[in-house]
């Protein structure tokens, strides 16, 4: 359901469909599986639900993962339920800006 809503939001904003459940490796070593990715732009889209991405435990899990992605020159962009409810223009603008800066 969340995946469908994100994909609809991206489509409504004129963006191409990203890869789903994309696995990122470096030198054959698994780094992360992300919700969505635009591999050619090295952009990662992660749905950040309040249920799974708040609090100390989530922060201790998510921050090292995000830092590893950034170290490999991936550009993580978070998506919240509010982004989806509001039409996704903020996310679309962030994706377009990140795509312009390889």
CATH of the domain at 37: 3.40.960.10
pTM for this model (two decimals): 0.86
What is the domain extent for residue 26? Answer: 2-100
Contacts of 30 (CB under 8 A, 6+ apart): 23, 24
Looking at residue 27, its pLDDT comes to 96
Which is more confidently placed, 39 or 61? 39
Cβ-based neighbour number of residue 58 at 10 Å: 15
Q: Give the bridge partners for 53, in sequence order.
A: none
| Total structural domains within the chain | 1
Cα gap 81→29, rounded to integer Å: 32
Average pLDDT over residues 3-21: 97
The confidence band for 53, taking pLDDT boundaries of 50, 70 and 90, is: very low
pLDDT at 97 over 80: yes
Short-list 100, 93, 80, CA closest to 15: 93
Picking from 7-11, 45-49, 57-61, which range would have the lowest pLDDT averaged per residue? 57-61
Cα gap 57→95, rounded to integer Å: 28
Cβ-based neighbour number of residue 27 at 10 Å: 5
């Amino acid at each position: 359901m969340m995946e469908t809503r994100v994909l609809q939001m991206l489509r409504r904003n004129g963006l191409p469909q990203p890869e789903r459940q994309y696995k990122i490796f470096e030198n054959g070593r698994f780094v992360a599986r992300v919700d969505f990715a635009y591999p050619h732009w090295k952009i990662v889209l992660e749905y950040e639900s309040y249920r799974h991405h708040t609090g100390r435990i989530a922060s201790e899990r998510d921050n090292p993962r995000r830092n590893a992605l950034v170290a490999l020159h991936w550009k993580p962009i978070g998506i919240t339920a509010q982004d989806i409810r509001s039409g996704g223009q903020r996310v679309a603008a962030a994706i377009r800006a990140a795509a312009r800066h390889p």
